[in-house]
Amino acid sequence: MAYHDDDIPRGERPVNPLPWGVVVIFMLIVAVEVVLSLGQRGILGGPQAVGWRLNAIRDYGFFSPVFDWMIEQGRYPTEHMIRFVTYPFVHGAFTSAVFACVMLLALGKWVGEVTGSLPVIGAFMLSAVAGALAYGLIDAGDYPLIGAFPGVYGLIGVFTYLLWVRLKATGGPQATAFTLIGVLMLLQLVFGVFFGTDWTWIADITGAVTGFVIAPILVPGGFGALMRKMRRD
């Protein structure tokens, strides 16, 4: 049987669009990565563009020693404070940016449909900032904190909370809500054992905890509103 456009009820779409907050974060990550990747390959900016990625990491990545210097000196210049919100958009490699974008789109769509776009942006950025603060408080050496993963893990934290609320509302097994975080932490542990690791996982975990903690305030009415929404769904 052939179907025509008229067969689709007006006002309904076969695929729900992404929340605009997710699109904004996604486009920022993509825009930065496209420029850095094209420069790295000599397609954009000439020979000097090969070093753009390293320069971006140096100028916009988050460094524990820089954070220590600000605390010791009691000085917080804009050029360093901005690192808290710029590092999530700079990645060390194209594959890292792609993986972060895939997780962002998958989690951001689900979270955004429940909370709205502004809360998605807020959760992503607050989790990224919290992750950087935690990273700055440990002795991580000169290894930079870059990439969207602390912010994405924040969305995982929000997702975990929303799933926990849904299971609580429907009488399902609430422990299963924490499966995703558990699996990701296990994978990080395995990779750390076999391939070595750095301290950036501290920022990821902090991001997830932050997302979980702030989730109740992302929807007007907090926990009660979420419970009512989940029951309706």
The per-type count for the chain, helices as H runs and strands as E runs, is 11, 0
Collapsing DSSP to helix, strand or coil, 230 comes out as helix
pLDDT of 139 = 80
Token pair of 201 as six digits: 């996982």
Tell me what pLDDT residue 218 has: 80
Cα 53 → chain centroid = 20
* 30 Cβ neighbours under 8 A, 6+ residues apart: 97, 101
Q: Give the alpha-carbon dihedral of 37, 42, 45, 50, to 10 degrees.
A: 70
Q: Residue 228: which pLDDT band, with cuts at 50, 70 and 90?
A: low
Residue 62 near residue 146, CB atoms below 8 Å: yes
Q: Which residues contact 202 (CB under 8 A, 6 or more apart)?
A: 131, 134, 135, 138, 140
Task: List the beta bridge partners of residue 62.
Answer: 145
**Domains of the chain and CATH, by start:** 15-232 (1.20.1540.10)
Question: Considering only CA atoms, which of 137, 131, 130 is closest in space to residue 67?
Answer: 137
For residue 41, give both structure tokens: 């390959």
Beta strands in 55-159 (DSSP E): none
Cβ contact 10:2 at 8 Å: no
Tens digit of each residue's pLDDT (9 = 90 or more) over 63-81:
999 999 999 999 999 999 9
Q: Determine contact, residues 52/35, Cβ cutoff 8 Å.
A: yes
The pTM of this model reads 0.85
Between residues 9 and 184, the one the model is more confident about: 184
Determine the pLDDT at residue 203. Answer: 94
Confidence category of residue 3, pLDDT binned at 50, 70, 90: very low
